[in-house]
Chains A and B, each alone.
Chain A
Amino acid sequence: MVVSRNFCIMAVQCWSDILKTSKKTALICDGKRKIHYLFTDGSEMAEEYDMNTDALVSRRLRSKNNLGGQGQWRTEVGETSHNAMPSVDSDTISENSSNPLFARKDTKSSFRWRVRNISYPMDTYNVSVETAERCCIIRTTNKKYYKKFSIPDLDRCQLPLESSALSYTHANNTLIISYKKPKEILALEQELMRELRKLKGTNDGDVDCKTQ
């Protein structure tokens, strides 16, 4: 147990080291602190924090693809930049607006996911933690919705997933799933926040991003 505890601390250390070595650019606008990280392997991360509450509003990641081209931004936290009115004349395939929308929005003490636009009764849902596969699964008894998602924060720090930390409720056509943050994560986030406050942010919108 002691060994695994030590191992955990090492992994947390590892991710915080990666964050420390990355090139960071800060920018403050619209009441948000925006941070751009450029990692040594060429991948990028962009985070947005609310200035008042210090809550993470959005986090996006992008990495170079196999052939060397720029990949797409993947949204990890926050709304996907999904335009509310998908253009009718688009040639390709896109999800209909009547489908449930899945997004992550964290609070201070827990990871939280919201599935909006889903109107089945409470007893339809079954959310479980798959410890072996390192993911959570939302199932519905009427076989209308299914979602498998991982918690990248825990994966990066190589922390185990626990079923006891998970809870979910349904109200106003929204299914809300919460996972209590373990104390390693809380400590890491506090440390990161202290670091980010130290970063000199410019207030101007137009600024050269020196990491690019």
Chain B
Amino acid sequence: MATCTGWHALNCFSRKSTINLRIIFFFAVFVKMANTKVPEVRDITRIERIGAHSHIRGLGLDDALEPRQVSQGMVGQLASRRAAGLILEMIKDGHIAGRAVLIAGQPGTGKTAIAMGIAQSLGPDTPFTALAGSEIFSLEMSKTEALSQAFRKAIGVRIKEETEIIEGEVVEIQIDRPATGTGTKVGKLTLKTTEMETIYDLGSKMIESLSKEKVQAGDVITIDKATGKISKLGRSFTRARDYDAMGAQTQFVQCPEGELQKRKEVVHTVSLHEIDVINSRTQGFLALFSGDTGEIKSEVREQINAKVSEWREEGKAEIIPGVLFIDEVHMLDIECFSFLNRALESDLSPVLIMATNRGITRIRGTNYQSPHGIPIDMLDRLLIIATSPYTEKETRQILKIRCEEEDVELSEEAHTVLTRIGQETSLRYAIQLISTAGLVCRKRRGTEVQVEDIKRVYSLFLDESRSSQYMKEYQDSFLFNETQSAQMDTS
């Protein structure tokens, strides 16, 4: 067993990090030793993937709710963003229940981006539940049950609860790594207060989160015993005289007193759905036969509603209405819409945001045509926000933001060509080309994506219209080409 102390050791052994990053890291440690000021050691423990909307950090509005042209990853769509900002204020206010908003627009005009922007600006405490319209169709659960669960997931209840925490100053962290290099890591953590000292055994998950939080000897930390969440309170005053490289933001705190394990009241937010699940579990051996999920009886829901409103009157709990976002809402059928009509009337319903890219089309489950595939009576309850296609300038700006997000450098001409492609084919296609062109560029050891790289990927990957063109020309040589009559039902 190789034994090491401190989080430096932890990170060195982290097999997830690439060789490249490891070199950066060792270099950083070296600089730290030389006691010069380091701007920031690159965080190697954070591995995030880049999603389609990971550049969105908010709605990009100023304090007067006026949209800025380019802000927080949002570009253009000024009117719809301003409208979304007003809806956001209404949600934050929390008094209005059961309003519904529809975001309608052509594909690739930023409908989901606006919803994501709302979610980001709401902050972590307001529940935001997102689902796609087709998610509610399941064999295990009825459509209305799935919808009511989604509704209740979007209502939060802030409540005080007692939890057991461990609070103390770190004396020593010791991580044992199996000599073979594989297998689970085990470790010991010694914590102390002014009165006592205790040694704890650490599991692999705890070791990981200790290294993620960069906990070292001399830090004062709290550990939530039930969830294993670690938070750093600061450094102990007794370590204030250590000549160690530390940032200006390091806080010094007193070593805690008394017992290491304490019961503390914490405020946390749970959704109504979670309370339902806790209370619906049948006791004893019956729990074996009924699974954890499945349908929740309406009596249980009624009881919970009564209990929650009782808590609210007593001042024990606070209700935080959140947002339910249903993407591709045209996939819902007539039964779901009539259920939504009714559900929106309840005073315990969240703000409902829906998005669709359909025009006048058939309502699922009927033979009637209706705008957006939504019945007229439902449409009448909605505030509708329209998104419009992006202009050339805006497309250019979005592509620039995406390049930054994906860490690809684009030359001026390549940027112009890509913007052109985005305008003539689709924005999504142009965004797809960024990462592929970036790879082509890296393979030829270039640093900046040139027009040739774009041309190359443009010839390699067909966009939608060129692919359709190709199909029209060569459909005779494809399989099953004679069954032209069977059209796909997408409405």
Interface residues of A (CB under 8 A from B): 65-70, 86, 88-96, 98-99, 139-140, 143-148, 212
A67-B278, A69-B278, A69-B279 are contacts. A93–B161 as well, Cβ < 8 Å?
A: no
- B201 with A139: CB separation less than 8 A: no
A144-B200 contact in complex given A92-B228, A93-B228, C-beta closer than 8 Å: no
Contact present for A93 and B189 (CB under 8 Å): yes
Shortest Cβ gap from A133 to chain B (Å): 11
A68: chain B residues at CB < 8 Å are 275, 278-279, 304, 307
Do B204 and A93 touch across chains, with their CB atoms under 8 A apart? no
Which residues of A are found within 8 Å of B193, using beta-carbon distances? 146
Distance in angstroms between the alpha carbons of A86 and B202 in the assembled complex:
11
Contacting pair A146 B204 (CB below 8 A): no
Contact among A91, A143, A145 with B194 in the assembled complex (CB-CB below 8 Å): A143
Partner of A96, one of B159, B195, B200: B200
Pick the residue among B189, B198, B204 that contacts A89 (CB under 8 A): B204
Q: How far is the CB of A125 from chain B (nearest CB, A)?
A: 13
Partner of B258, one of A144, A146, A212: A146
> Across chains A and B, which 9 residue pairs bring their CB atoms closest together, nearest first?
A91-B205, A146-B195, A146-B196, A96-B199, A91-B203, A69-B278, A68-B279, A90-B203, A92-B228
Answer whether residue B232 sits at the interface, using C-beta atoms and an 8 A cutoff. no
Query: Which residue of A has the minimal Cβ distance to B157?
Result: A67
Q: Which A-chain residue is minimally distant from B194 (CB atoms)?
A: A143
| A144: chain B residues within 8 A (beta carbon) | 196-197
Residues of B within 8 A of A89 (CB): 184, 203-204
A67 touches B270 (CB 8 A): yes
Quick one: which of B206-229 are within 8 Å of A by CB?
206, 223, 225, 228
Q: Report the separation of the CA atoms of residues A212 and B161 in the bound assembly, to the nearest whole angstrom.
A: 26
Interface centre among B166, B184, B197, B281 (most CB of A within 10 A): B197
Residues of B within 8 A of A94 (CB): 200-201, 203
Inter-chain residue pair count (beta carbon < 8 A): 83
Residues from chain A with Cβ under 8 Å of B205 in the complex: 91-92
Please, which residues of chain A bring their CB within 8 A of the CB of B279? Answer: 67-69
A-B contacts besides A92-B206, A146-B259, 4 pairs, CB < 8 Å: A69-B278, A94-B201, A99-B199, A148-B259
What's the nearest-Cβ distance from chain A to residue B224, in Å?
Answer: 10
Is the CB–CB distance between B275 and A93 below 8 Å? no
In the complex, residue of chain B having the shortest beta-carbon distance to the beta carbon of A90: B203
Q: Is the Cβ of B203 less than 8 Å from the Cβ of A96?
A: no
Interface residues of B toward A: which range?
Answer: 35 or more
The chain B residue sitting closest to A140, CB to CB, is B196
Q: Is the CB of B166 within 8 A of A99?
A: no
- Contact residue among B188, B194, B201, B307 (Cβ-Cβ distance under 8 Å from A86): B201
Contact mask for chain B residues 282-303; partner A; CB cutoff 8 A; 1 contact, 0 none? 0110000000000000000000
Distance in angstroms between the alpha carbons of A60 and B279 in the assembled complex: 23
The reply to whether B184 and A93 form a contact with Cβ atoms under 8 Å apart is no
Q: Are A93 and B195 in contact (CB under 8 A)?
A: no
User: Nearest CB to that of B160 among chain A residues?
Assistant: A66
Chain A residues near B283: list those with CB within 8 A: 70, 212
Residue of A nearest to B166 (CB): A93
A90 to B: closest C-beta gap in Å:
5
* A68, A93, A94, A96: most-surrounded residue (chain B CB, <10 A): A93
Q: Which of A66, A95, A147 has most chain B Cβ within 10 Å? A: A66
A148 contact set on B, CB distance < 8 A:
258-259
Would B159 and A67 count as touching, CB distance under 8 A? yes
Q: Please, how many angstroms separate the alpha-carbon atoms of A14 and B307 in the complex?
A: 28
- Whether a CB of chain A sits under 8 angstroms from the CB of B186 is yes
Cα(A89)–Cα(B202), bound, Å: 9
How distant is B221 from chain A, measured CB to nearest CB, in Å? Answer: 11
- When distances are taken between beta carbons in the complex, the residues of chain B under 8 Å from A147 are 259
Which of B192, B196, B205, B274 is most buried by chain A, counting CB atoms within 10 A of its CB?
B196
> Given A66-B159, A67-B159, are A95 and B198 neighbors across the interface (CB < 8 Å)?
yes
Closest chain A CB from B193 CB (angstroms):
7
Which of chain A's residues have a CB closer than 8 A to the CB of B206?
A: 91-93
* Contact A67 to B275, CB < 8 A, known contacts A91-B204, A93-B200, A146-B258: yes
